[in-house]
Amino acid sequence: MMSDGRQKLPVQRTPQNSRKTTYDSGKVKNGDLHFVSPYSSASSPTEGLTEILLALQDELGQMSFEHQDLLKQIQGTKNTDVREDLERELDCLVKRMEKKADQISKLRKHQDKVEKLKVKAKKMTREMADAKKRAKALDEMKEVPANPRGTEFSVKTTSAPGQKGKESLQLLRNAQKLQLTLRQNDITWEQ
């Protein structure tokens, strides 16, 4: 009962606008708050952000349904006191929805930054791997002896016109010298 003798009508509650705590797949929902379990099924930080973003968007959608429900209740109520209570509740809901929209916006910006950093990190990792490969190839080139087993090689890497035949002949002779040297240095087992 109110102070002026009128009876206050109860506000109609629905599952969407009640404040009871529910548990749903590792997330605890208390009103408009979701607590995401640290043991989430996300395998990467960006997937975790995506899960949080989806949860926030879902909450905003639920608030939208609650908003529609409150508007219907306000329109259907003739009692001014009940209407005022519903309007106050609607104002609070609108403020919560604005905060939720701001959270979603900030999370999207953060998600974009994380994605850009992830791409940049992959690029740097690739560049470092390429640099290591080049350094290893240079080291291997330095380790190859100039005259293997005492033989002399004189092979040009670029040839002038008409020199190709001479270079091929010289290469053949050097290969034959190398074969002969390798045969002479082969290890034989005594029986």
Whether residue 21 contacts residue 75, with contact meaning beta carbons closer than 8 Å, is answered with: no
Please report the pLDDT score of residue 94 as a whole number: 96
Whether residue 185 contacts residue 149, with contact meaning beta carbons closer than 8 Å, is answered with: yes
For residue 46, give the CATH number of its domain.
1.20.58.90
- pTM confidence score: 0.48
Number of domains in the chain: 2
**Is 85 among the domain residues?**
yes
Please report the pLDDT score of residue 98 as a whole number: 96
**How many CB atoms are located within 10 Å of the residue 27 CB?**
16
Question: Could you read off the pLDDT tens digit of each residue along the chain, which spans 191 residues?
Answer: 444 554 444 444 444 444 433 334 344 444 444 444 544 555 677 788 899 999 999 999 999 999 999 999 999 999 999 999 999 999 999 999 999 999 999 999 999 999 999 999 999 999 999 888 888 888 777 765 555 555 555 555 555 666 677 787 888 888 877 777 666 555 555 55
What does the longest C-alpha to C-alpha distance in the chain come to?
124
Burial of 86 (0-12, 13-18, 19+ CB in 10 A): buried
Same domain (yes/no): 179, 91: no
42: nearest Cα among 34, 32, 28, 52: 52
Domain that holds residue 162: 149-184
CA distance 24 to 36: 10
